[in-house]
Structure 1
Amino acid sequence: MEQAWDKFKENTTVHRLVALCLIILVLYAARSMMNTILLTFIFTYLIVHLIRFTQKKIPSLPAQVIVVLAYLLVIALIYFAITIYVPILIKQIIKMSHSLIKFYQSDDMNWVSRYLSHYISNSEITTQAKHGVTILVHALTNFGTLTIAFFMSLIMSFFYTIELNSMTEFSHTFLQSRHLSWLFEDVAYFGNKFVNTFGVVLEAQFFIALCNTAMTIICLIIMRMPQIIALGLMVFILSLIPVAGVIISLIPLSLVAYSVGGLRYVIYIFIVIMIIHAIEAYILNPKFMASKTELPIFYTFVVLLVGEHFLGTWGLIVGVPIFTFLLDILGVKSVKKKKPQILKIEDKK
């Protein structure tokens, strides 16, 4: 028995596979906390990245000072958003809803109303209305849960980053375990791989989303479209979804454009979105995806569909980084090493 255990520990491929299966089981068991886990990881990654970047420019600046200043800035931005931005956003969404309702009640859409009233009975409308109320209540509940997860993630990431050196030193002690050092080494190995892959892909997609949003807002301002802030926020959130986000944003943008300037504005929006998509595909992706982790469009859509099925909305955002991580550990497509790492673990051959 002892010889079999020693052989198991010596076989790197087998015990890494076992460690990966254990990690997946633990994450599956903690799936109800997935919002908190993913948000904590993202906040921690961003702050650690900020610490590394700032200390390269100003080596004498302590990490704790950087963390405190960063979170004070985050708190100030949250306060600004709640007191100033959110009321403006709500007003613009209400105006957008009114304009869309007015558009559907216009003479151009009378034939749609007649067609729907001819084929849909009052009982079906009542059923759909009840279903809509259920969806609304569910959405409000999810929003409350996500808000709690957001603030919990901020607190947890703050305590992790404020004691970054202590956390790293304490984490290294697990590698000295007499019986399970192999397991903790494998966890650190996969952790470093995931941080590296996730950081490269998500960081690139974040900058691409910023560029897409900036270009779209400039075009909307030139076209004198209403509710610029609400539309800009929508475009930014959808742009975090690789490839599909730009296409999905066409639907609400086209509806608003038609209510403002008719079919001519819809054509303008299509041209604008196609130009922005071309810039993303041929300029932004090659520039930001420096490690060549981009996927063919077919694979991207498949990954998004599978990710949404298993992880919901989060799957649309983190599906591609997770798939790229799997390609990396399988040796199909490696990712260039990028700091920050969790622990420095040498790759065993």
Structure 2
Amino acid sequence: MKKAASARRAAPAKKTASGKEPASTTKGASAKKAAKGAAVKKAPAAKKVAVAPKKATARIKGTAPARTVVHPPGDESRTALVRRARRINRELAEVFPYAHPELDFENPFQLVVATVLSAQTTDLRVNQTTPSLFAKYPTPEDLSAANPEEVEEILRPCGFFRAKTKSVIGLSKALVEDFGGEVPGRLEDLVKLPGVGRKTAFVVLGNAFGRPGITVDTHFQRLVRRWRWTGESDPDKIEAAVGALFPKSDWTDLSHHVIWHGRRICHARKPACGACPIAPLCPAYGEGETDPEKAKKLLKYEKGGFPGQRLKPPQAYLDAGGTPAPPLGAG
């Protein structure tokens, strides 16, 4: 009996007529080997992706942090886009409640001239130049009759001074001859003036006449494309696309908010992502410096303070726990 039991335990697997083991037996062994090999292989390391913090590092006191990181997917719906765009504008309005045109002016004539002069230079440079210009030529009548060489000498620091001299004298003559020496308050009239395009016209309409308009400058174009509000590159098409996302009453302030943000935080070459108050809403987060401390060093402000209030450093406006300063001239 013991020999018979041993024989049964030692009996080899049955073979087919060809002398090979059944397929089920070989398949089972192969599957076990494959499973064993898979178990010892290490899973590939996951690629690190920059993720915006749920709470931005550059906040002003009292601003509620974003609840979730809502970077838009490629198939973001129209409704979701509108909501995100308007939320960005609300966030920027809290960070820059004092946003305004950074060109100094006292009347529509000074504003239109200053805006024409601001092409290819900084607002700060224009503000350093226009006091002398307006002191000598305070009205369109005065500037239209000016000696071009004398005007060129005043405008030389602004760059392209010959072309700009021709434009400001030309627009002054047009104001005197066609509009009785007054700056018109209609878009179709403003764009007829030498050196005045839609961008300049909307600056004048929005800030001198209180009529809503979107100012599509280089900062505005860069940011709305980064935020995926539009994929257009033509300024007129950008204006139409962005204007459709907001009520008309928001257009002028929206322009100020976006331009201020582009000049101070969301720079062209190296945006300060780690100090950005709208990082959780930005699909381009990670293009710039994400480390909060390093990002703070990228914030730009005028000598002596943050633009809009020349007494305090930018941390007074942007750091967590900071308090927004009063508008320029207040206090």
Fold conserved between structures, TM > 0.5:
no
- Report the TM range for the smaller structure's normalisation: under 0.3
Structure with higher Rg: it is 2
TM-score, normalising length: structure 2: 0.25
Q: Which has the higher helix share?
A: 1
